Chain A
Amino acid sequence: MKEIDARGLACPAPVLQTKATLQEENPQSVRIVVDNAASQQNVQRFLESQGFQTTLEQNGDDYLVIGTCVSEPKEQPRLSTEQQSDVKKIMVVCATDRMGFGDDELGLKLMINFLRTLKEMGNELWRLVFVNNGVKLTIDGSKVLDDLKDFENKGLKILVCGTCLTHFGLLEAKKVGETTNMLDIVTAMQLADKVISI
């Protein structure tokens, strides 16, 4: 393993020293010591941009970055693992708190049942979005609040329309999910493999 001591150097010097070493010696693994957290993160990010896998350690006043070459350097910053994975991304948009038209009481029951059954989609369920009357499912007193919290705890991203919450005066009452905007929703639609609208 190639060792680089970049202690006592200010940004961007530790990155430059690492860059020079990679160019001159083309090592398979490197261990860089710096003396502050900012330099540590900068060196980590440089190594990752060059196709290295990294781990960070702290040892007293020393901050370490250990890197192992795993691929050729990429021109563009690498995509996050989520974007690279083969798992389908399904986005479900709920624009109402009732499922279907006809009887409202039945519609509410169906909606509750729908949201509870949604977990059968497994890890392909990628985003759950609430807009218009749908935001009322995310507030205090909602019958599915615990189910939604359960989803969120398991890592599902729940987006709740901020304009809608404001419109209904429910900004404070919302108890689950992230307040979002149309740009975020549209971007998520673009990234999703499938969008299901209720």
Chain B
Amino acid sequence: MVFPTNENVIVGLDRADDAGVYKISDDLALIQTVDFFTPIVDDPYWFGQIAAANALSDVYAMGGIPKTAMNLVAFPVKQMELAVLRQIIQGGIDKLAEAGVVLIGGHSIEDKELKYGLSVTGFVHPARVLTKRNLQPGDRLVLTKPLGTGIVNTAIKAGMASADLTGKVTHLMAALNRDAAGIMSNFNVSACTDVTGFGLLGHLAEMVCGSGMSVRVFSKQVPVIAEALEFAAMGLIPAGAYKNREFRESMIDFAEMVERSRQDVLFDPQTSGGLLISVNGHQAGELVAALKDAGIGDAAQIGEILSGPAEKIWVV
């Protein structure tokens, strides 16, 4: 399919990224993104918060600052009480307020299945746009949230996760990537994305494709929710994790000592995951220290960019 474009499109559909970017003037570009999904937690207020954090994340991953948002709602009005919808929207509004973003509209339809999400608009200087596509050899990879939300959500559905763990993962998914993005802007960052449905290795594969470079991931240094490893060993793995593995398997080499459960967590689809940042190798330690100082305690260096061979991911 051919997507019409013009000279002001900085990031368009031809190179699928976290959001679209359109140049308005030499010092201002518009970032637009939309994301919505079916409930991932039982509590409607928290579902609203997570959906908003997730939609905002795409703007942060592009190096931008979100400003306005619109609601997208599909609601089974005959089966569900409107109070549920009110709580979802309140969750969204509260999360937007935390991010300094205003809700200025939206649209709702009747549907058999509840869905909620937002379209978010933000701004960035055209020269400061961060995409997935600019890895530099010698860069280090930094991840800002632990992996395993997909597996833990599967365990929650199975009734096998504790209330404590459920609460912990809910807060994790609702946490904004705003502070991480703000800190990242002070460093020499060459590429960035946020970890969502394709899992860490799926999103990393997108970054590596077409770069001519390869990546080495230090699996033991990747932050993970400890319980996710146990649940994975019991087969509580979402089908998406298997699809992610199947899709990218040919690009990825696992060292023998990377146990199966850890591999599964690296493919686990995330909801509202952390930022995956490719930063100048000399600044990586400082970036992680700054993230930790700001309370992003899970931030860690998880890998390095190598000059070749092309399009290969080594997990050791």
Contact = CB atoms under 8 A, between A and B. Distances in A.
Interface in B285-316: 306-309, 314, 316
Given A15-B158, A36-B239, A162 B309 contact: no
Interface string B229-264: 010111111110111000000000101110111000
B239 A10 contact: yes
A171 B239 contact: no
B253 A12 contact: no
Contacts of A47: 235
B248 to A, nearest CB: 15
A183 B218 contact: yes
B154 interface: yes
B139 to A, nearest CB: 14
Given A178-B255, A183-B316, A49 B234 contact: yes
B181 interface: no
Nearest to B156: A12
Interface size class of A (residues with CB under 8 A): 20 to 34
Given A162-B306, A171-B309, A38 B239 contact: yes
B40 to A, nearest CB: 15
Given A181-B218, A184-B257, A15 B306 contact: no
A44 interface: yes
Contact of A181 (B238, B257, B307, B316): B316
Contact of B307 (A11, A36, A166, A178): A166
Interface of A: 10-12, 15-16, 36-39, 41-47, 49, 77, 80, 157, 162, 166, 171-172, 178-181, 183-184, 187-188, 191
Interface of B: 154-155, 157-159, 216, 218, 220-221, 230, 232-239, 241-243, 253, 255-257, 259-261, 306-309, 314, 316
Top 5 A-B pairs, shortest CB-CB distance: A42-B235, A46-B235, A45-B235, A77-B233, A38-B242
